[in-house]
């Protein structure tokens, strides 16, 4: 179903967001901006590291975890969303856990981290009512539910660690898991019209990889230059897909007759899931743990993960979306936490930043293919907890995706994260 068709649809009641863009592929991904530690700086991740939080977007950062420490991170967010198309608009709100992660040392030169992140969401319900030349009313309903989560585990290695230079490398092994169900149904006021429903179910269970490097070089006594590199290799994976077309009683939705698969055909098949080859580059300049300015750039053949249906099994018809070249840019500033300040307010850190993404997807519109871009801003506070290294981070972010000619989604995200850093592996000494 084309996106311009969606613009004339009216959303009906449902739980969570109504996200029309999520009808494509594996849905809409909020990463990394749903994570307070990232959204507070507008999306900067590649050079970020700390001994009291986990940065899964560059696994080399795990090397910053201190010996004898155990780091536990958990984040929450609440989002308010406004959908706009022409002169029409609709509002929605929802809240979720944004991530969960733990990290600890294995040896002095090797650290480990693991966690869970919601990767993407599919949640939409749209309805089109049309009047045919015969005077009957025809209703087309499209809905989708589900999404993907990513379990990850990674290692970070200290390669060079001296007073002036620090080189770390790392890798993540991720596992995408989840179930996605999409429905498309047709009904009519004509009692002679037999309602039809099309159903597609995807079941994910696939491993993905990414690699990272971070390098820091002292520039005199006051400044440090940081460089971050990340790489995701192109990967092809198989996904289980189940397709079904059937007629049903509109009043009870009980099955009448199966149209597809016919006798001799199998409802279950395998689709193709691909991870794009993606490169990320980051630069930062820090002054004596007082402040830091950083910038990131990401380039890929398309954004994230792409799903391709098996040939001849597109029961919903040709998709209105195509993948294209993707790039994103982020810049942020941070006044760093100062645990040696004379009073608590002097210890508090604050940050702000902005990001821009080009080529999230290309969708078919009346005027031809249109690129769906996104931009946003963010800010946050880092609040030290007790006398240790633990942090409470609060953040707020705004993002805009698409435009009113097709569909614009404006989203405000409020986040809170607890990064607990405790000394667990200390050998007690007794006199």
pLDDT digits (tens, 9 = 90+) for 177-199: 999 999 999 888 776 677 888 99
Q: In 10 A of CB 92, how many CB atoms?
A: 18
Q: How far is CA 424 from CA 49, 66, 339, 358, in A?
A: 20, 11, 21, 44
The pLDDT of 352-360, averaged and rounded, is 93
- Listed residue (89, 68, 73, 72) closest to 18, CA to CA: 89
| pLDDT higher than 50, residue 203 | yes
Whole-number Å distance between alpha carbons of 355 and 398: 10
Note the pLDDT of residue 2.
44
| pLDDT higher than 90, residue 418 | yes
Tell me the percentage of the chain whose pLDDT exceeds 90: 50
Residue pointed to by tokens 């696994």: 59
Measured on CA atoms in the order 384, 385, 388, 391, is the torsion positive or negative?
A: negative
| pLDDT higher than 70, residue 51 | yes
The pLDDT of 381-399, averaged and rounded, is 87
Note the pLDDT of residue 357.
95
The pLDDT of 260-284, averaged and rounded, is 89
The pLDDT of 282-305, averaged and rounded, is 94
pTM exceeding 0.85: yes
Eight-state DSSP code of residue 261: S
pLDDT-derived band at 7 (thresholds 50, 70, 90) equals: very low
Q: Are 395 and 79 in contact (CB under 8 A)?
A: no
Query: What's the pLDDT tens digit per position in 206-225?
Result: 999 999 999 999 999 999 99
Instruction: Measure the CA dihedral 409/412/61/349, to 10°.
Output: 150
Whole-number Å distance between alpha carbons of 189 and 251: 12
pLDDT-derived band at 1 (thresholds 50, 70, 90) equals: very low
Note the pLDDT of residue 14.
40
**DSSP states of 365-377 as a string?**
ETTEEEEEEEEEE
| pLDDT higher than 60, residue 80 | yes
- Listed residue (187, 83, 169, 168) closest to 128, CA to CA: 187
Note the pLDDT of residue 379.
97
Query: What's the pLDDT tens digit per position in 226-265?
Result: 999 999 999 999 999 999 998 877 666 676 788 888 777 7
Instruction: Measure the CA dihedral 232/32/28/253, to 10°.
Output: 110
Whole-number Å distance between alpha carbons of 176 and 6: 29
Instruction: Say which residues have a Cβ less than 8 Å from residue 87's Cβ, sequence separation at least 6.
Output: none
Note the pLDDT of residue 29.
86
Note the pLDDT of residue 78.
92
| pLDDT higher than 70, residue 9 | no
| pLDDT higher than 80, residue 397 | yes
Eight-state DSSP code of residue 4: H
Residue pointed to by tokens 């942090």: 391
Q: Are 356 and 375 in contact (CB under 8 A)?
A: yes
Burial code of 216-248, b = ≥16 C-beta within 10 A, e = fewer?
beeeeeeebebbbbbebeeeebebebebbbeeb
Note the pLDDT of residue 387.
60
Note the pLDDT of residue 11.
38
| pLDDT higher than 80, residue 299 | yes
The pLDDT of 288-292, averaged and rounded, is 91
Note the pLDDT of residue 107.
94
């Amino acid at each position: 179903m084309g996106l311009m068709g969606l613009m004339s649809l009216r959303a009906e009641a449902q739980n969570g967001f109504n996200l029309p863009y999520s009808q494509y592929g594996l849905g809409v991904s909020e990463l990394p901006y749903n994570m307070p530690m990232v959204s507070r700086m507008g999306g900067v991740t590649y050079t970020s590291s700390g001994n009291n939080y986990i940065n899964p977007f560059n696994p080399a950062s795990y090397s910053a975890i201190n010996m004898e420490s155990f780091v536990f991170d958990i984040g929450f967010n609440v989002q308010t969303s406004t959908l706009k198309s022409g002169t029409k608009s609709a509002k929605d709100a929802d809240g979720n856990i944004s991530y969960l992660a733990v990290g600890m040392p294995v040896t002095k030169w090797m650290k480990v981290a693991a966690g869970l992140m919601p990767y993407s969401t599919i949640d939409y319900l749209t309805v089109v009512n049309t009047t045919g030349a015969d005077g009957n009313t025809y209703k087309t309903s499209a809905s989708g539910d589900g999404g993907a989560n990513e379990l990850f585990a990674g290692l970070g290695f200290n390669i060079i660690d001296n007073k002036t230079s620090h080189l770390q490398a790392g890798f993540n092994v991720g596992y995408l898991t989840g179930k996605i169900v999409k429905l498309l149904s047709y009904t009519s006021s004509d009692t002679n019209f037999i309602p039809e429903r099309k159903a597609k179910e995807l079941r994910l269970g696939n491993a993905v990889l990414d690699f990272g490097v971070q390098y820091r070089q002292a520039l005199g006594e006051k400044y440090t230059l940081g460089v971050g590199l990340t790489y995701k290799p192109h990967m092809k994976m198989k996904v289980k897909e189940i397709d079904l077309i059937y007629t049903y009683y509109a009043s009870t939705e009980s099955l009448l007759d199966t149209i597809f698969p016919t006798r001799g055909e199998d409802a279950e098949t395998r689709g193709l899931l691909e991870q794009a080859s993606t490169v990320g580059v980051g630069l930062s300049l820090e002054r004596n743990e007082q402040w830091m300015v950083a910038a990131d750039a990401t380039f890929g053949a398309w954004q994230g993960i792409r799903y391709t249906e098996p040939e001849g099994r597109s029961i919903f018809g040709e998709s209105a979306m195509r993948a294209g070249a993707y790039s994103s840019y982020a810049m942020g500033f941070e006044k760093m936490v100062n645990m040696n300040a004379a009073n608590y307010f002097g210890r508090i850190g604050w940050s702000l930043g902005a990001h821009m993404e080009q080529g999230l997807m290309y969708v078919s519109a009346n005027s031809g293919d249109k690129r769906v871009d996104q931009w946003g801003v963010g800010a946050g506070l880092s609040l030290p907890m007790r006398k240790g290294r633990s942090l409470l981070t609060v953040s707020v972010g705004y993002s805009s995706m698409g435009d009113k000619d097709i569909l614009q989604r404006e989203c405000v995200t409020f986040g809170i994260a607890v990064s607990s850093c405790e000394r667990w592996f200390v050998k007690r000494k007794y006199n």
